[in-house]
Amino acid sequence: MKKKASILVCVTGQRDCDRLIQVGKQLALERQAELQVLCVQPASAGYDADCEELEYLRQTARDAGADMTVYFDDSPALIAAGFLKQTGATHLVTGMAGTPSNGFIERIHRLAPQVPISMVAKDRTIYNIYPPLKAKAAAGK
């Protein structure tokens, strides 16, 4: 049985990541896809993770009809790429890279070049990275 298409939203432990979940929800509704939320916290965060913020995001995800999975690891792009592959997600929603960039978006794009990425700025402007046409054509065969 083929898995249903899904939208994966990657959040940090910041409250304003709720905007990412809302954009992911809209994409999921438009595409009749499932919505999933992933948060990768630094391994060292462990007990120091801001539980109040994570709980707020978990509840926001639940309100949007999604489950939120939290990992503690120091390689967020690698974890996200593995999660994309494991779940069969067809689209990724994330925030915009800060300055200086931590390289998450570049790494995830390199690890999963076939998956479109929507980056949501603080003002809710959405920027997109699409797979190369060659990758799309090969995926359609």
pLDDT tens for residues 82-99?
Answer: 999 999 999 999 999 876
Amino acid at position 54, single letter: L
Q: How much is the pTM?
A: 0.87
pLDDT tens for residues 26-68?
Answer: 999 999 999 999 999 988 866 666 788 999 999 999 999 999 9
Residues 137, 119, 87: CA angle, nearest 5 degrees: 60
Longest dimension (CA), the chain: 47
Beta strands across the sheet bearing 91-95 = 67-72, 34-41, 6-11, 91-95, 117-120, 126-129
Least confident range from 4-18, 74-88, 104-118, 120-134: namely 120-134
Domains of the chain plus CATH, in order, are 6-140 (3.40.50.620)
Distance CA 12, CA 2 (A): 30
For 48, other C-beta atoms within 10 Å of its C-beta total 9
| Torsion angle of C-alpha atoms 22, 23, 24, 28, degrees rounded to 10 | 100
